[in-house]
Amino acid sequence: MPVHSADRDAFYSVEKLNEGRRGDLAERMGIKITECTRERMSATMPVAGNTQPFGLVHGGAYVVLGETLGSIHSNYLAPEGMVAVGVDINATHTGSATEGEVTAVCIPVHVGKSLAVHEIVITAENGRRCSTVRITNFYKPMK
């Protein structure tokens, strides 16, 4: 949810995001925000409850994790009076986790007046990269 710039840092604090401002799906999947600054955003997600039938994290779960971070961060950086809406997302899965939790780190690649592009790298507890997600958000005027 976009907010006036004077309230932005408080609205996007880790505590506030984890109190329900990260969305119902993210909450249901156990996504916990661990950092939110202008430079990056990070979160964890448990493997348990987010797997496909073979016990690996579901590829769609990686995408939800990536979109959660990219969307929230795009709105955090949104120009005054604008809201970010997703227009493109893609993911390349190069590994998978089977236990514990995964960690996602979201970095803005480009933030302009009309578009924001973020790359989200998701790793298993052993440091192995599991997925790389790229999301593009379009900034449009708030109604």
| pLDDT-derived band at 3, boundaries 50, 70, 90 | low
Q: What percent of the chain has pLDDT over 70?
A: 96
Helices (H), 7-135: 8-11, 14-16, 24-28, 59-76
If you ran DSSP here, which 8-state letter would residue 6 be given?
A: G
For 105, the token pair is: 């780190």
Cα 14–Cα 117–Cα 75 angle in degrees, nearest 5:
40
Instruction: Please identify which residue in the block is written with the tokens 């933030």.
Output: 111
Q: What average pLDDT does this structure show over 115-138?
A: 98
Active site residue 125: no
Secondary structure of 39-56 in HEC code, one letter for each residue: CCEEEEEECCCCECCCCC
Contact present, 1 and 75 (Cβ < 8 Å): yes
Domain assignments of the chain as residue spans, ordered by start: 5-141
Which CATH fold would you assign to the domain 5-141? Thiol Ester Dehydrase; Chain A (3.10.129)
Digit-coded pLDDT (tens) for 79-108: 999 999 999 999 999 999 999 999 999 999
Contacts of 42 (CB under 8 A, 6+ apart): 33, 34, 35, 69, 103, 104, 105, 106
Examine the pLDDT at 130 and tell me if it is beyond 70: yes
Return the pLDDT at 115.
97
Digit-coded pLDDT (tens) for 22-46: 889 999 999 999 999 999 999 999 9
| pLDDT-derived band at 6, boundaries 50, 70, 90 | low
| pLDDT-derived band at 59, boundaries 50, 70, 90 | very high
Q: What is the mean pLDDT of the chain?
A: 94
Catalytic residue, chosen from 67, 99, 101, 119, is 67
